[in-house]
Structure 1
Amino acid sequence: MKISAICTDIDGTLLDKNRQLSERTLRAFAGLPADFPVILASSRMPGAMTHLLDEFERADNPLICYNGGYVIRSPLNGAEMVDSTYINPEICRKIMQVAKQTQAHISLYAEDNWYAPSMDKWTEKEEMVTKVKATLGNQHGIIENWERGKMGAHKVMCMGHAAEIQWLYDQLFNSHGSSLHLYRSKDTYIEIAPKAISKASGLRRILADYNIPMEEVLAFGDNYNDIPLLDEVGYGVAVANAREEVKAVAKEVTSSNIEDGVAKIIEKLLL
């Protein structure tokens, strides 16, 4: 098959056990033509993804952020927004109201901004992993600003002890499951996004710029939010550590993220 672009998830797929790009992965991407589109697709905010494009020396390539909720054409050229779909402020308030019945940490994300309640262990962990600093406190003030500006959250993230997160997931799924995606990236996390978007929808918007069909894309993933992406592209690949549901829609299963699974497929198919 013809492969004209790569779209890949980051955490659990592209990064190694140290949450870094391995030397083999960097060499594999360096072997691709300079004008070959490499599109990162993640639940992360833009600022937590751009340093990876820099390491690939592809700072002008597009980003699919927040699982497709915020798509930008090129961080290098002013981060021109291609698509933006957010959770409205009223729903954000309802999520936070339900979460008050737990000790869960709630973070709000919009464009390239992260609003955390305080510098707790969850904020510290996310700052370390993503290399981004949070804006602390006054989340209700942020929501009020969104109400005035007709904006909202591109992502709401809930973090906490597994039992509380499961309870919170059940409550939010029952009340908002028809309008929101509730992703369980791990048993201590819920990542919340609008139901209307996905990594696949974000990719379609980007590919229109390149005149590349979905059938000519090689994509990689590991978790539930990667299923539409791997299912809709021409060649979807799951890493060995992926959920079984992800493997079920993939054309191929490669080695795990800590065994350079993405690099091995690129070497085999494109180099």
Structure 2
Amino acid sequence: MISFIGTDLDGTLLNSNKEISQENIRAIRAAVDKGITFAICSGRTLDSVQNFFDALQVPGYKVLLNGAVIFDPNNKKISDRPIAKAVVDDLLRSVDGYGFKVVIDGLDSTYVTDPELSDATYFEGVSKRNVLVGSVSELREINDRKDSVVYKVCFSSSEDRVAQLMKKIETFTSMPVVISRSGESYYELNALDCTKLSGLQRISAVSKIPIAEFMCFGDYGNDLEMLRGVGYGVAMDNAMEEVKDVADIITGTNDENGVAQVINRVLDKKIK
């Protein structure tokens, strides 16, 4: 029995134009109308995820920043797990001078230093909520503010420097953080025990829906544990091979309405 459907955004629910197709919108609305609980499970911030809920016009849980913050369908915060300021500062100090792209995410704000000015760092370009700063030192100053709360720290590089970035990321494995890979050269760090799966487990405890009744969709490294840990893990056909290997179902790509394909099978009782 499937009582809960959760989906990643980029590379999963969103097509290559960063939009939710009408096919996916119709399938999600139909599932919610049938009483299935819905969630978006993303590395994105609140404002970004809320924009997609506005497009869907359905209630649901928001699993934000890889599970660091969770809101229930009534917009009540049920989990809040920032990274300790001292840990953020240690991470930032350790990469100062390397020239990597570095991002720190608050609940609804993103600060970026991007020496290569690549745009790859941003989800939606530079806006009032996506602020480009000049250096890692400025990021450290932002983190040091009393009112600053950081939930996620991200590092990325150009293709020719990926090996150097990976070597630096390996030095963080002894620190109190969870490391996930969400792109070929993009790494995201959260507080310990802060993943999409752990966020869903907290939702399971609150909602009383068994995790075995959860179906979740994803495509990349920060979705791997989620797909492996829920009752029905669904990998997109465009997913990385490691994600496909742990999935129970492989659906079409994000440009083929892969999420809708499987939800419609659930609604037609072809998947139980």
Range of TM-score over shorter length: 0.7 to 0.9
1:219 — aligned with what?
216
Q: Which runs of 5+ in 1 are unaligned?
A: none
1:200 — aligned with what?
197
C-alpha displacement of 1:258: 1.1
1:183 — aligned with what?
180
Structure 1 Cα separation of the partners of residues 166 and 265 of structure 2: 40
1:112 maps to 2:117: no
Q: Residues 178, 133 of structure 1: CA spacing in aligned structure 2 closer, same or farther, 3 A cutoff?
A: closer
Q: CA deviation digits over 1:109-142, x for unaligned, max 9? A: 1222222347973468615269873245442332
Structure 2 Cα separation of the partners of residues 246 and 40 of structure 1: 18
C-alpha displacement of 1:187: 2.6
CA contact (8 A) 1:165 1:189 kept: no
1:33 maps to 2:32: yes
After superposition, where does 1:1-271 map in structure 2 within 5 Å?
2-34=1-33, 35-58=35-58, 60-74=59-73, 77=74, 79-117=75-113, 121-122=117-118, 126=122, 128=124, 133-137=129-133, 138-145=138-145, 148=146, 152-177=149-174, 179-271=176-268
Provide the identity percentage.
Answer: 27
C-alpha displacement of 1:208: 2.8
C-alpha displacement of 1:39: 0.3
**Structure 1-normalised TM-score?**
0.87
Q: Which runs of 5+ in 2 are unaligned?
A: none
Q: Residues 122, 244 of structure 1: CA spacing in aligned structure 2 closer, same or farther, 3 A cutoff?
A: same
Stretch deviating more after TM superposition (83-92 or 123-132): 123-132
Q: CA deviation digits over 1:201-230, x for unaligned, max 9? A: 101212333221111111111111112211
Structure 1 Cα separation of the partners of residues 96 and 171 of structure 2: 17
- Amino acid in structure 2 at the alignment position of 1:114: T
CA contact (8 A) 2:66 2:194 kept: yes
Structure 1 Cα separation of the partners of residues 16 and 127 of structure 2: 16
CA contact (8 A) 1:87 1:194 kept: yes
- Amino acid in structure 2 at the alignment position of 1:96: L
- Amino acid in structure 2 at the alignment position of 1:115: Y
Q: CA deviation digits over 1:61-102, x for unaligned, max 9? A: 21111111111224xx5x432112222122222222222232
Q: CA deviation digits over 1:149-207, x for unaligned, max 9? A: 6x742101223313434323322322434532222222332211123121111012123
How many residue pairs match? The answer is 263
Q: Residues 136, 186 of structure 1: CA spacing in aligned structure 2 closer, same or farther, 3 A cutoff?
A: closer
CA contact (8 A) 1:223 1:243 kept: yes
Q: Residues 200, 81 of structure 1: CA spacing in aligned structure 2 closer, same or farther, 3 A cutoff?
A: same
CA contact (8 A) 1:217 1:233 kept: yes
Q: Residues 157, 9 of structure 1: CA spacing in aligned structure 2 closer, same or farther, 3 A cutoff?
A: same
Structure 1 Cα separation of the partners of residues 203 and 232 of structure 2: 17
Structure 2 Cα separation of the partners of residues 129 and 250 of structure 1: 32
Q: Residues 50, 166 of structure 1: CA spacing in aligned structure 2 closer, same or farther, 3 A cutoff?
A: farther
C-alpha displacement of 1:234: 1.3
Structure 1 Cα separation of the partners of residues 188 and 43 of structure 2: 8
CA contact (8 A) 1:5 1:217 kept: yes
Secondary structure of 1:212 counterpart: coil
CA contact (8 A) 1:104 1:165 kept: no
Structure 1 Cα separation of the partners of residues 78 and 158 of structure 2: 36
Structure 2 Cα separation of the partners of residues 104 and 119 of structure 1: 7
Structure 2 Cα separation of the partners of residues 178 and 106 of structure 1: 18
